[in-house]
Amino acid sequence: MSAITPELRKFLRERERLVRAHTAPAEDPADDPLLAALEKAGPFFDGGWTPASGCRPSDIACIRYCMLMSSMIDGAKQEAESLARSWLRCARQRYRDGFYANPFGEAVRRPEA
């Protein structure tokens, strides 16, 4: 067996630090204002949703956001924040225009609008 070199030891320590940083327990949603906003918008995102149409839009938004926020890829966190803000903006605009607030797919008019 070969001895562990100082470079390899340094690499392994850095790798362990990165893994620990990205596998930490989930944060409280109150610590992340965008995640809290997505969760609060959930009932509006899910208006008009039926089980036949697949996953709930609120679940899709939260899962996509959390996956990008936990990514080790450079720029993923900024992309997650940008996407979450655009989903919320789109949902607000659709709701104002008389549609369900689902930011994904085709806009569907609310019957009461």
Which tokens in the block code for residue 85? 């803000």
Does 59 fall in a domain? yes
Number of domains in the chain: 1
- pLDDT cut 90: percent of the chain above it: 40
Does 34 fall in a domain? yes
User: Each residue of 12-58: pLDDT tens digit?
Assistant: 888 887 776 665 545 565 678 888 899 999 999 998 888 877 889 99
Does 112 fall in a domain? no
Does 11 fall in a domain? no
Which tokens in the block code for residue 5? 């070199």
Does 4 fall in a domain? no
Does 3 fall in a domain? no
Q: Which domain holds residue 75?
A: 28-96
Long-range contacts of 85-93 (CB under 8 A, 24+ apart): 85/34, 87/38, 87/61, 88/37, 88/38, 88/41, 91/41, 91/44, 91/45
Distance from the Cα of residue 62 to its chain's centroid:
4
